[in-house]
């Protein structure tokens, strides 16, 4: 069994046990600095925690989402509201309600300070849209994470997206001390034991590319049900990654991230994503069009349709963020794409 050494864990800025994270740049360097990721030359760290748990009775939101996933593909939309702004939060949630199946309310590099996940989920769900909550290991130790999982269970979220999280050296709060008591694999195990529908992320284009499917297998063994596939360049790379994961011995539901671009501002925000790979010509097609907004809606819809044709794809995630001040317009655009796909009709 391959396990991380104490020296590797101490050297990793996130103190990961089940590395590497998705923050490895194309040249193999860490997102935090100009040094090589300590996990690149290490065999995949095998899940050596408890066996995948028999969960407690699933809470209502998770049960409803599982039932929906068993019926048809779903549309999940990133949540574009301004941080700590209840009016913006309510307006964006209202723009998505009844149009998408859930909103992925996670982290944002440009606004590290957010409402606590369970409280934000409560506020969003009051507007009639299911929440798939992003929960990171950067900001809370394991006791605080357990508390948030209990709160999310009480709120009844559709899913919990377990991520290690970007380091505080990136984003807008470099003055904050990172925690990283756990990593995404360990958090997935906790969330599964608490009865949540658990998702994780994987980055097929981030080094070590050849080990990403094996790493996802360990997350599934720990408790993950769903994999959100980071922007990988289109349908062909996603198809290949699904096949590699199955060959590695795991078969979660896959939800590819779809780049949501309707203007220069949303394109600029997308470019801040680590190891972003977009389909060839995707941004040029939109930004050089006479009407970027309409062209963006068309390009995003077409890419969603190609992804949904793939065996193993359980839905799509409209991924990205809005230009400052255009949050509701961006949420509405995601709603338009979801309506065009017609999955709920």
Residues 35 and 38: their CA atoms lie apart, in Å, by 9
Sequence-ordered list of residues with C-beta below 8 angstroms from that of 331, at least 6 positions apart, any chain: 77, 80, 81, 91, 92, 95, 96, 322
Give the orientation angle of helix 292-308 with respect to helix 327-341, to 10 degrees: 40
Residue 345 confidence (pLDDT): 59
pLDDT above 70 as % of the chain: 96
Does pLDDT of 7 surpass 70? no
Answer whether residue 37 is part of any domain: no
Residue 134 confidence (pLDDT): 97
Answer whether residue 19 is part of any domain: no
To 5 degrees, how large is the angle CA 109–CA 81–CA 180? 35
Answer whether residue 151 is part of any domain: yes
Cα dihedral sign for 12, 13, 19, 25? negative
**ω into 20 cis (within 30 of 0):** yes
Q: How confident is the model at residue 41 (pLDDT cuts 50, 70, 90)?
A: confident
Report which of 102, 100, 79 is spatially closest to residue 90, judged by C-alpha positions. 79
Structure tokens at 97: 């309600």
Per the model's pLDDT, the better-predicted residue between 207 and 274 turns out to be 207
Q: What CATH number is associated with residue 61?
A: 3.20.20.220
Strand pairing partners for 229? 202, 256
Q: What is the DSSP string of 101-162?
A: SEEEE---TT------HHHHHHHHHTTT--EEEEEESSS--HHHHHHHHHHHHHHT-SEEEE
Q: How many domains does the chain have?
A: 1
Summarize the confidence of residues 203-225 as an average pLDDT: 96
- Per-residue pLDDT of 240-293, as tens digits, reads 999 999 999 999 999 999 999 999 999 988 888 878 899 999 999 999 999 999
Torsion of CA 5, 8, 12, 14, to 10 degrees: 0
Q: Do the beta carbons of residue 44 and residue 2 sit within 8 Å?
A: yes
**pTM of the predicted model, to two decimals?**
0.96
Summarize the confidence of residues 304-324 as an average pLDDT: 96
Residue 46 confidence (pLDDT): 94
Residue 113: give the domain boundaries: 56-341
Strand pairing partners for 254? 227, 313
- Per-residue pLDDT of 95-126, as tens digits, reads 999 999 999 998 876 667 899 999 999 999 99
- Per-residue pLDDT of 298-308, as tens digits, reads 999 999 999 99
Residue 280 confidence (pLDDT): 95
Does pLDDT of 331 surpass 70? yes
Answer whether residue 174 is part of any domain: yes
Residue 270 confidence (pLDDT): 87
Answer whether residue 171 is part of any domain: yes
Residue 171 confidence (pLDDT): 80
Give the DSSP letter of residue 175: T
Residues 3 and 1: their CA atoms lie apart, in Å, by 6
Q: How confident is the model at residue 11 (pLDDT cuts 50, 70, 90)?
A: confident
Q: How distant is the alpha carbon of residue 201 from its chain centre?
A: 5
Residue 52 confidence (pLDDT): 75
Residue 169 confidence (pLDDT): 86
Per the model's pLDDT, the better-predicted residue between 32 and 56 turns out to be 32
Q: Do the beta carbons of residue 258 and residue 304 sit within 8 Å?
A: yes
Residues 148 and 150: their CA atoms lie apart, in Å, by 5
- Per-residue pLDDT of 67-99, as tens digits, reads 999 999 999 999 999 989 999 999 999 999 999
pLDDT above 90 as % of the chain: 81
Answer whether residue 40 is part of any domain: no
Residue 340 confidence (pLDDT): 98
- For residue 58, give the 3-state DSSP assignment: coil
**ω into 208 cis (within 30 of 0):** yes
């Amino acid at each position: 069994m391959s396990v991380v050494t104490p020296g590797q864990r101490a050297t990793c800025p996130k103190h990961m046990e089940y590395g590497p994270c998705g923050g490895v740049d194309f040249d193999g360097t860490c997102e935090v600095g100009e040094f090589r990721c300590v996990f690149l030359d290490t065999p995949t760290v095998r899940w050596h925690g408890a066996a995948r748990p028999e969960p407690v009775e699933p809470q209502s939101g998770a049960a409803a989402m599982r039932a929906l996933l068993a019926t048809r593909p779903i549309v999940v939309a990133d949540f574009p509201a301004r941080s700590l702004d209840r009016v913006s939060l309510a307006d964006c949630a209202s723009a998505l309600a009844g149009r998408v199946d859930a909103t992925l309310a996670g982290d944002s590099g440009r606004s590290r300070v957010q409402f606590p996940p369970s409280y934000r989920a409560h506020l969003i769900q009051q507007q009639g849209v299911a929440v798939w909550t992003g929960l990171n290991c950067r900001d809370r130790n394991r006791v605080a994470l357990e508390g948030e999982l209990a709160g999310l269970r009480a709120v009844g979220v559709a899913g919990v997206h377990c991520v290690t999280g970007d380091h505080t050296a990136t984003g807008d709060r470099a003055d904050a001390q990172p925690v990283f008591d756990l990593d995404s694999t360990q958090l997935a195990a906790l969330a599964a034991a608490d009865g949540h529908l658990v998702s994780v992320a994987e980055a097929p284009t981030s080094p070590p590319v050849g080990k990403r499917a094996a790493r996802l297998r360990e997350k599934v063994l720990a408790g993950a049900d769903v994999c959100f596939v980071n922007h990988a360049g289109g349908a062909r790379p996603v198809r290949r990654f699904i096949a590699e994961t199955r060959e590695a011995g795991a078969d979660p539901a896959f939800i590819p991230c779809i780049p949501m671009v309707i203007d220069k501002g949303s394109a600029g925000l997308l470019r801040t994503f680590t190891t972003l790979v977009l389909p060839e010509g995707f941004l040029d097609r939109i930004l050089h069009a006479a009407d970027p907004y309409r062209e963006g809606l068309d390009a995003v819809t077409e890419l969603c349709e190609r992804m949904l044709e793939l065996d193993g794809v359980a839905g799509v995630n409209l991924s990205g963020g809005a230009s400052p001040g255009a949050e509701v317009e961006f949420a509405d655009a995601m709603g338009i794409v979801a309506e065009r796909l017609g999955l709920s009709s």
